[in-house]
Structure 1
Amino acid sequence: MANFDSNHVKNVVLLGHTGSGKTTLAESMLFEAGIINRRGTIEDQNTIGDYSDIEHEKGKTLFSKLMNSKWRGFKINILDTPGYDDLSGEIISAMRVADCGLMVLNSRMGVEVGTDIIWQYTNEYKLPVIIAVNQLDNEKSDFDRTVAEAKEHFGNQIVLVQYPVNQGAAFDSVIDVLNMVMYRYSNQGGKPEKLPIPDSEKEKANRLHKELIETIAGNDENLMEHYFEKGELDEDEMKLGLHQSLINHELFPVFCVSAKLNMGAGRLMGFIDNVCPSAFEMPKQVTVDGKEINCSEKEKTALFVYKTITEPHIGDLSFFKVLSGKIKNGDELTNENTGQVEKISQLFEMEGNKRIPVDELVAGDIGATLKLKNTHTNNTLHERGFPVEIKPIQFPNPTFTIAVEGTKKGEEEKLSSALHQLVEEDPSIKVEVSAELHQTLIHCQGELHLAVVKWKLENSHKLSVRFQKPKVAYRETIQSDADTVYRHKKQSGGAGQFGEIAMKIEPWYEGIPEPTGFSIRGKEEIDLPWGGKLVYYNCIVGGAIDTRFHPSILKGIMEKMHEGPLTGSHVQDVRVIVYDGKMHAVDSNDLSFKIAGMMAFKENFINASPKLLEPIYKVMITAPEEITGSIMSAIQSHRSMVEGLDAEGHFTQIKALIPIAEMHEFTSDLRSLSQGRAKITMAFDHYESVPYEIQERLIQSFKSELQEI
């Protein structure tokens, strides 16, 4: 098996909207490299990339895959990715270890929403990008429109290296304005015939060749001087300029392909190995403490785990990039995140789900290993004496929440284990067991993401589950004062129970003055775990209630605040003054005063103009300008308030405040009216009063639930 040094390893990630042809292009690239002898198809469910049952069932890529190929002395690792923002965790993790992106555009559809969203990620990572305009054999192909949209969306750094001669059903020829030749393909695709540029295309080819030269020279002073001196750049100079411009994220060259007919894949492979940067040429990886890591096999060994999957009957398969040094079978590395030592017993190159054993991998390469006991995604492993921790992948915050429960008794532990495994495989999923809501919540990226979760639970883990709309973490508080005297008395033979409390409650707010008309003997300020405050005053004079009973009174109040009188939600921002009471020499005890405190607080609360508060989230929606009006209408129909609009290129950013109670329906409405073309982020902002009619409905619903119990 050929060994490759760091200079001869290239890592390219395939990006683009779903249906653009990434997986089919990967098949053609592997076929051209001789890795496979027959190209699979999505329809036949036999591609190297889409091998899972759920991908066969849904006919689309849902997980990132690692494949490798060999091309003219170079090893090219190919990472195929999904095309939906719902699955952005898979896309981002693959981009994190790639050194070049291959953005695939559907020439029939132009620049689609998935492409726009992914392009934002390439800008964040400053990832070198080459563009492949695919499906030029489609009768509705429109290369010029697609390129024009790319320039409109991504900027004028888009530069043509190729253009089609005869797109559509008869597509078979491409003009390459870098090499200044015409490539003509046979019906079987593959290696093209090199021909002179026809006279009918010379003027256009020469014009585009000159534009390419000027664009390349414009990013490099030395090349600009050569261009001024000679009036031309030779092919090597142009490739050098493109190489550096790619590294700097300054130019994005455009190529022509028909992945289905295997036309253009070989030229892409040649450009990747000839011009695209290797890992050692890219900006250095940075550790969490700001140090740079040299991507060299001569350095000490460090690797970064970017993905974990669990294979039935085998265990965890960890995917990693070697950041520096070499990794060999039998090496022992320390996990900087856990402190545990892991032995690397098996190393693999990957071809989809096929593991190919190797003896070593060098800096810049990507591979996999099995059965690391204490290592997870985002962990850094290193050899002893070289403690480094790479900056972790920042996965997007969830935008969609659902409650899940098993439908069969006795499977609670199995469900918990399955959810833990889902998070291990996909850190963009968050699982929360909410004691407040009495629900297990799955936080994910959208409805498609949820569909993947549901499929895995039912098919991979053989669980029967039910999904429900999540409850809302309301808060209860008061708007006025209330005063009561409550007596708890119980006699059942022998010692009984007795406790009487005179209690006043008031709304609490920051800066409130101390209560007047009371002799304050003690004060406790309690920052509540769920937010807000309880301020408790002991204003007992003359020993009407013994001091030792105050903790019990406070405990009773806290219990009722934990499950408020209106809807069973947490209570916040209340001031309690206990100013009088009575006790019995025999029958008074801690339990008596706990119950008296709880009931006095409840009675007061109901009489103090109680109100229900709901969580309000700050939401930012990024969407194409043409659907902004529809989104604004949808926002306003969900009890929400638009805070502002900002232009972001050809997108509009809408900032709004939306009650979390409305978010479940709103996200579904947004996806429907935008056809997935809108991106949403959200974060908790504040609590706000619930409208009266909704409050009454929630109170009645809570009373009905109590009656059923």
Structure 2
Amino acid sequence: MLQFDSKHVKNVVLLGHTGSGKTTLAEAMLFESGIINRRGTVEEKNTIADYTDIEHEKGKTLFSKLVNSKWKGYKINILDTPGYDDLSGEIISAMRVSECGVMLLNARMGVEVGTDIIWQYTDEFKLPVIFAVNQLDHEQADFDKTVAEAKAHFGNQLVIVQYPVNQGPNFNAVIDVLNMVMYQYPSDGGKPEKLPIPDAEKEKAKQLHQELIETIAANDERLMENYFEKGELNEDEMKLGLHHSLLKHEIFPVFCVSAKLNMGGGRLMGFIDNVCPSAYEMPPQLTIDNREIPCDDKAKTAIFIYKTVSEPHVGELSFFKVLSGTIKVGDELTNEETGQVEKIMQLFEMEGNKRIAVDELTAGDIGATLKLKNTHTNNTLHEKGFPISIQPIQFPSPTFSMAVEGTKKGEEEKLSAALHQLVEEDPSIIVEVSAELKQTIIHCQGELHMAVIKWKLENTHKLAVDFKKPKVAYRETIQAEAETTYRHKKQSGGAGQFGEISMKIFPITADTADPKGYPIRGKEEIDLPWGGKLIYYNCIVGGAIDARFHPSILKGVMEKMQEGPLTGSHVQDVGVLVYDGKMHAVDSNDLSFKIAGMMAFKENFVNANPQLLEPIHEVIIVTPDEITGGIMSAIQSHRSMVEGMDAEGHFTKIKALIPIAEMHEFMGTVRSLSQGRAKLNMEFSHYEKVPYEIQQEVIQSFKEDLVEV
């Protein structure tokens, strides 16, 4: 087994909109490097990367995969990724452990939805990026239009390194303006023949060569001086300039490929080897306390877990990047987050679902291991005496939610275990068990993401499940005063139950003063766990009710506030004043006054102009400029309010306040209008009054649900 030092390991993530050809390109690269002897296809469901049943069923990549190739003395780890923003957790985790991205553009479609969205992540991470225009063999391929669109979206720092000579069904040749040569491919692809640039292409090639030189020189002061002195840069200087500019996320070279015909993959791998950075050249990883951890294979060993996969009959497979040192079979490493000492019993290089056992992996490399006891995604494992914890992957906040329940009795624990495993594999999923709503709610990145979750529950875990729109966590309050006297009396032989109280309730705000005209004997101000307040006043005089019964009255009030009279929602911001009552020497007890307190509060509440409050979220929508008007109309038609707008490149950022009750439908509208190009982020802002008509609908729906139960 070949061993590679840190300088000879390259980690490349394949990026782009779904259908741009990432998986097919990975297959071509593996074939060219001799890892496989036959190229599979997505259509035949036999590619190395897309091996799961659901990917075969859907015909698309849904999870990031790790494969590796060896090319001219280098090891290239290739991470194939999905092309949907719904699956951004898979994309981001793969980008986190890569030193270069290859962004594929479909030559017949140009810049697509996923490309725009993924570019924002590369820009955020300052990831070096190569563009590869793919599917140049298609009859509708248009290289120039695709590159023009890319420059319009991503800037003029895109620089052409290759362009096609004969795009379309007869595609088989490209002009390389870095090497100033034409590569002509055999009909079955593979290694091209190097030929002189045809006379008809010399002027265009020379012009693009000059543009490449000027772009490189403009980003490197020393090369700029050489260029002014000589009027030219040689090939080595150009490669050095490209290398430095890639590192700084300043230049983005454009290459030509036909992954389907196996044309261009070898040249791309050669460029990755010769020009793209290795992990040791990238900025050092930072710990959570902002210490730098350089990629040094001579340092103490530390690894970072970036992905976890549960494999049937095998257990959990932990994917990791070696941050520093060299990890070997038999090493004992400490998990900084859990304190658990993990013994590394096996190490693997990965080729999709095929595990290749190795004895060691060095700093910068990516691999996998099995059956770690208590280690999860985002954990750092380190050698004894080298305590570090790397800054975790920041997964995007969920934007889509559904309630899930099992349809078969007795499978509650099985469902709970399955959901736990889903979160273990994909931390961008959040599972909330809501005692308030009496629902288990899955929060994720979108409808496709939810469809994947549902498929796994039904097919992998063999569960019968039902998905529903989540209930809304309303709040109930009052807008007026009300008072009543309630008597609880029950006689059933022997000691009975008796408790009578006179109670007044009123709305409270931050500046509400104590009520006038009542002798306040005691006051208890309670910050409610769900927000808002309850203020309880004891205004009993003359011993009408013993002081020992007030905790029971308060307990009854609190129980009714947990499930309010209108919709069963939590009640907040109410003052309760108990000013009179009666008790019985024998029949009065804690239970009697608890029930009296509960029922008096309920009677008062429905007579105090009750008001339903709904949660409002602050939503940030980043949308392409051309559909901003449609998004604005959608906001206004969903009982929402625009708070502000800003330009952000070719996008508009809209800030709006939207009721959570409208979010489910609103997100579908936005997705439809933008064809998935708009991004949403949301977080809770505050509660607001529900309009009267909608309040009545919600109350009626609650009553109907009670009847059904």
What is the CA deviation profile of residues 137-166 of structure 1, one whole-angstrom value per residue up to 9, with x for unaligned ones? 111111111111111111111111111111
Farther off after superposition, 453-462 or 693-702: 693-702
The one-letter code matched in structure 1 to 2:503 is M
Number of the residue aligned with 1:188: 188
Q: Distance between the aligned counterparts of 2:407 and 2:665, measured in 1?
A: 24
How is 1:585-624 mapped onto 2 (pairs within 5 angstroms)?
585-624=585-624
Q: How far does the alpha carbon of each residue in 1:309-332 deviate from its partner, in whole angstroms, 9 at most, with x for none?
A: 000011000000000001000101
TM-score by length of 2: 0.99
Deviation at 1:708, TM superposition (A): 4.0
The answer to whether the aligner puts 1:132 opposite 2:132 as a matched pair is: yes
The C-alpha deviation readout for 1:458-485, integer Å capped at 9, x for no partner, is 1111111111111111110000111111
Equivalent residue, structure 2, for 1:475: 475
Task: Give the TM-score normalised by the residue count of structure 1.
Answer: 0.99
More displaced stretch, 506-515 vs 343-352: 506-515
Higher alpha-carbon deviation: 638-647 or 413-422:
638-647
Distance in 2 of aligned mates of 1:311 and 1:383: 27
Q: Which amino acid aligns with 1:149?
A: E
- Which has the larger displacement, 512-521 or 468-477? 512-521
1:365 aligns with 2:365: yes
Instruction: Give secondary structure in 2 for the equivalent of 1:515.
Output: coil
Aligned runs of 1:150-299 on 2, under 5 Å?
Answer: 150-299=150-299
Distance in 1 separating the partners of 2:373 and 2:582: 62
- Residue of structure 2 equivalent to 1:443: 443
Between the aligned partners of 2:206 and 2:53, the Cα distance in structure 1 is 49
Alignment partner, residue 404 of structure 2: 404
Residue type at the aligned position of 1:473? A
Counterpart of 1:530, as a letter, is W
Shift of 1:584: 1.5
CA deviations on 1:288-342 (whole Å, 9 max, x unpaired) are 0010002111100000000000000110000000000010001010000100000
Amino acid at match of 1:89: G
Structure 1 residue matching 2:109: 3-state secondary structure: coil
**Distance in 1, Cα, partners of 2:379 & 2:286:** 14
In the alignment, which residue of structure 1 is the partner of 2:577?
577
Residue deviations 1:524-569 (CA, integer Å, cap 9, x gap): 1111111111111112222221111111011000000000000111
Give CA deviations for 1:222-281 in whole Å, capped at 9, x if unaligned: 111111111111111111111011111111110011111111100000000000000000
Amino acid at match of 1:691: P
SS in 1 for 2:361: strand
**1:511 aligned counterpart, secondary structure:** coil
Aligned equivalent of 1:301: 301
1:329 aligns with 2:325: no
Q: Distance in 2 between matches of 1:180 and 1:520?
A: 93
- Residue deviations 1:327-358 (CA, integer Å, cap 9, x gap): 00010100001000001000000000000000
Tell me the distance in 1 between the aligned counterparts of 2:537 and 2:239. Answer: 78
Which deviates the most, 674-683 or 62-71?
674-683
Gaps of 5+ in 2: none
Tell me which amino acid in the other structure corresponds to 1:554.
Answer: L
Measure the CA separation in 2 of the matches of 1:629 and 1:290.
43
Asked if residue 416 in structure 1 is aligned to residue 451 in structure 2, the reply is no
Q: Which amino acid aligns with 1:210?
A: Q
Q: CA separation in 2, counterparts of 1:708 and 1:388?
A: 55
Report which stretch shifted further, 417-426 or 651-660.
651-660
- Give 1:429's aligned amino acid: I
Give yes or no for the alignment of 1:690 onto 2:690.
yes
Question: Quick one: distance in 1 between partners of 2:221 and 2:632?
Answer: 48
1:37 CA drift (Å):
0.8
- Report the Cα distance in structure 2 between the residues aligned to 1:6 and 1:594, rounded to whole angstroms: 71
State the alpha-carbon separation in 2 of the partners of residues 537 and 113 from structure 1. Answer: 60
Shift of 1:674: 2.0
In the alignment, the residues of structure 1 paired with residue 665 and residue 527 of structure 2 have an alpha-carbon distance, to the nearest angstrom, of 33
Structure 2: distance between partners of 1:124 and 1:524: 50
In structure 2, distance between residues paired with 1:37 and 1:429 = 38
Distance 1:707 1:195, change over 3 A: closer
Tell me, in whole angstroms, the C-alpha distance in 1 between the residues paired with 2:113 and 2:182: 32
Amino acid at match of 2:651: F
1:55 counterpart = 2:55:
yes
- Equivalent-residue separation in structure 1 for 2:170 and 2:176 (angstroms): 18
What secondary structure does 2:232 align onto?
Answer: coil
Structure 1 match to 2:506 = 506
What is the identity percentage for the equivalent residue pairs of Structure 1 and Structure 2?
81
- The letter of the residue matching 1:366 is I
Deviations 1:609-636 (A, max 9, x none): 0011111111122121222222222222
How far apart are the structure 2 equivalents of 1:149 and 1:268? 22
- SS state of the match for residue 209, structure 2? helix
In structure 2, the residue corresponding to 1:308 is in which secondary structure? strand
Distance 2:278 2:72 in 1: 15
Rounded to whole Å, the distance in 2 between the matches of 1:126 and 1:707 is 57
Superposition pairs for residues 637-676 of structure 1, below 5 Å? 637-676=637-676
Alpha-carbon distance between aligned partners in 1 of 2:705 and 2:333, rounded to the nearest angstrom:
55
Q: Cα deviations across residues 340-387 of structure 1 (Å, max 9, x unaligned)?
A: 000100000000000000000000000000000100000000011000
What is the one-letter code of the residue matched to 1:469?
K
Q: Measure the CA separation in 2 of the matches of 1:69 and 1:524.
A: 70
Aligned mates of 1:316, 1:394 — CA distance in 2: 22
**Letter paired with 1:265:** G
Q: Deviations 1:69-102 (Å, cap 9, x if unpaired)?
A: 1011000000000000000000000000001100
Query: Once structures 1 and 2 are overlaid, which stretch shifts more, 434-443 or 486-495?
Result: 486-495
SS at match of 1:614: strand
Secondary structure of the structure 2 residue equivalent to 1:440: strand
| CA deviations over 1:145-195 (Å, ceiling 9, x no partner) | 111111111111111111111111121111111101111111111111111
The reply to whether residue 557 of structure 1 matches residue 560 of structure 2 is no
CA deviations on 1:375-427 (whole Å, 9 max, x unpaired) are 00000000110000000000011111001111111111111111110000001
Aligned amino acid, residue 130 of structure 2: I
**Letter paired with 2:524:** E
1:673, distance to aligned residue in structure 2 (A)? 2.5
Give RMSD over aligned pairs: 1.0
Alpha-carbon distance in 1 for matches of 2:451, 2:28: 30
* Equivalent residue letter for 1:490: K
Moved more, 102-111 or 532-541: 532-541
For residues 304 and 519 of structure 1, the distance between their equivalents in structure 2, rounded to whole angstroms, comes to 65
| SS of residue matched to 2:321 | strand
How much does 1:580 deviate? Answer: 1.7
Q: Which amino acid in the other structure matches residue 630 of structure 1?
A: G
**Which stretch shows the higher mean deviation, 690-699 or 52-61?**
690-699
| Separation in structure 1 between the aligned mates of residue 275 and residue 15 of structure 2, nearest angstrom | 19
Give the whole-Å Cα distance in 1 for the aligned partners of 2:703 and 2:153.
54
Q: 1:701: Cα distance to partner?
A: 2.3
CA distance in 1, matches of 2:522, 2:168: 85
CA distance in 1, matches of 2:74, 2:542: 90
Equivalent residues, number: 709
Measured after TM superposition, the shift of residue 19 of structure 1 is 0.4
Q: How big is the shift at 1:438?
A: 0.8
Distance 1:4 1:658 in 2: 53
Matches within 5 A, 1:624-635: 624-635=624-635
| 1:454 equivalent in alignment to 2:450 | no
Counterparts of 1:184 and 1:251, CA distance in 2: 26
Equivalent residue, structure 2, for 1:704 = 704
